[in-house]
Amino acid sequence: MNADDDSPSRDLSTWTIQRLRSFADATHGPQLESVRVVAQGHAYDADAPRAARRQWAELSLRANQRLPGDSPWDRARKTHHDFMLRMWVIDQLGPDHEHQDWNPETLPADTIAALAFTPVEARALADHWRDLPVERIGELRRHKNLPWEEWADVTAEAQGDAV
């Protein structure tokens, strides 16, 4: 299936969530990045109902997880997109402790599990980063670039909401 199939429009942003979900389920490869971006854009639509925005965000996450590539850079990019969208949904649309993706208590563990190093390992490597191969330095930078402070703020706020 491609974006041209029985469609007067190739503009994925005009498609319904059902149609885009079906397309994403049948698609493999770089087209999933377009699905991810379009679905994320709909999730950010402040005029849409909260439940619909969560569904769009979920579609974006699923497309992100199915994107091709298994290099350290690919995995880090996927982890970063996943983390940022989940954190945004929890912060802007509120936590949902019944749904793993929107549960602030699962976000830290899921993110750390997807990283190449534990925080302790990353800290130890950072002490002598200039001596590391370029690939390792890149992995450390990806760890560093995650918004750790924002994560702590969102998690603390969401836990306060649950109390």
pLDDT at residue 1 is higher than 60: no
Q: Could you give the count of Cα atoms lying within 13 Å of 146 in the half-sphere of its Cβ? A: 28
Q: Could you give the count of Cα atoms lying within 13 Å of 11 in the half-sphere of its Cβ? A: 3
Distance between CA 153 and CA 138 in Å, rounded? Answer: 26
Q: What is the mean pLDDT of residues 89-107?
A: 94
Higher pLDDT, 160 or 136: 136
Instruction: Write down the residue that tokens 């996927």 correspond to.
Output: 78
Higher pLDDT, 40 or 161: 40
In this predicted model, what pLDDT tens digit does every residue of 3-30 receive, in sequence order? 445 444 689 999 999 999 999 999 998 8
> Can you give the pLDDT at residue 145?
73
Is pTM, for the whole model, over 0.85?
no
Question: Among 116, 28, 121, 107, which Cα is nearest to 73's?
Answer: 116
Distance between CA 66 and CA 105 in Å, rounded? Answer: 24
In this predicted model, what pLDDT tens digit does every residue of 116-151 receive, in sequence order? 777 788 888 889 999 999 888 888 887 777 666 666
pLDDT at residue 163 is higher than 50: no
Contact 72, 143 (CB under 8 A): no
Q: What is the mean pLDDT of residues 29-44?
A: 96
* Angle CA 88–91–13, to nearest 5: 35
pLDDT at residue 109 is higher than 90: no
Domain ranges of the chain: 1-68, 69-163
